[in-house]
Structure 1
Amino acid sequence: MAATFELELVSPEKLLLSRPVEMATIPAWEGDMGILPGHSPMVVALKGGIIRVRENGAETERLFVMGGFAEITPERVTVLADEATPVTELSRAEAESRLSEAEAALTAAAAEPEAVRDRVMDRLLAARAMRDAASAA
């Protein structure tokens, strides 16, 4: 049996996943990160994207997150997601609606301070990633 680590994925609504896995790929702001047992400890910010879970040598689950944080230790990865949904449950119509709202919010925030525009841009990028994930599902 391959080495494993405990993966927990928590959203504000519920605990979505808690079990040993061989590998997880998370959408960190610095780029997608592959995590294996024994990974160096760190905390990373997540962007909107897909968490891929590997068990028994195969990808077993794909979950879309709108952002959040991941705490990584050699034995455990805890993902605190702003929002998380299995990719198979994503709706392209919902994603398009969120993208339209985010685009309108970005236009409305043109005169706002840079920190406000950055948060709105993060939401826009997450909505685009959601639309892309829903289209590929």
Structure 2
Amino acid sequence: MPVALEIVSPERLLLSRDVDMVVVPGTDGDLGILPGHAMLVTSLRGGLVDIYEGNRVTDRFFVTGGFAEVTESRCSVLADEIIRQADIDVSEAQAKLLEAKAAFDAADVHDADAYREASDKLISAQAMVDSATV
């Protein structure tokens, strides 16, 4: 029994197919979604979405954040931004990391929302660089 997976970006539906398992980068850790999984909604951190067919990863996507909604038979990934891992440009990712570090260093620690946003962008940018070299 497969899991019906949908990956959606703000622009379009990127993927809709049955898979054996999907692993998403939840904010509290990676989540492996198999058929029969408990229902949940989780926010996503920057990281890789791994799609399994059989015992091997068949596709990998990098997400900057978003949400995943899981039922017993379906997983919907609603990504803020998404790119195939193979399409990550390492130099562009490193430039984004430098930009995110500068923004984080300049963030006002007394403005909790601005500081959290800068922190999230820094974590996502570092994850993108790390993902490009996996």
What is the alpha-carbon distance in structure 2 between the residues aligned to residue 13 and residue 104 of structure 1?
Answer: 28
The aligned residue for residue 70 of structure 2 is 72
SS of match in other structure, 2:126 = helix
**TM-score scaled to structure 1, two decimals?**
0.94
Per the alignment, in what secondary structure is the counterpart of residue 36 of structure 2?
coil
Q: What is the Cα deviation at residue 63 of structure 1?
A: 0.5
Matches of 1:75 and 1:120 in 2, distance apart? 35
Assess if the C-alpha contact under 8 Å between 2:108 and 2:114 holds in 1: no
TM-score (structure 2 length as normaliser): 0.96
Post-superposition shift, 1:57? 3.2
- What 5-or-longer segments of structure 1 have no aligned partner? none
Report the secondary structure of 1:125's partner residue: helix
**What is the CA–CA distance in structure 2 between the aligned matches of 1:81 and 1:112, rounded to whole Å?**
29
- One-letter amino acid matched to 2:124: A
Match of 1:83 in 2: 81
Q: Per-residue displacement from partner, 1:6-41 (whole Å, max 9, x unpaired)?
A: 000001122111000010000001100000011100
AA aligned to 2:41 is: V
What secondary structure, in the 3-state scheme, does the structure 2 residue paired with 1:101 have?
helix
Runs of 4 or more consecutive aligned structure 1 residues displaced over 6 Å after TM superposition: none
Amino acid at match of 2:3: F
Q: Which residue of 2 aligns with 1:33?
A: 31
Identical columns (%): 44
CA offset at residue 104 of structure 1? 1.1
Q: Does 1:16 align with 2:14?
A: yes
Q: Any gaps of 5 or more consecutive residues in structure 2?
A: none
Equivalent residue pairs, number:
134
Matches within 5 A, 1:2-13: 3-13=1-11
Structure 2 letter corresponding to 1:12: P
| Distance in 2 separating the partners of 1:105 and 1:111 | 12
Task: Tell me the distance in 2 between the aligned counterparts of 1:83 and 1:117.
Answer: 21
Task: Give, in whole Å, the separation in 1 of the partners of 2:86 and 2:104.
Answer: 28
Q: Which amino acid is 2:43 matched to?
A: A
| 1:1-137 matched pairs, under 5 angstroms | 3-136=1-134
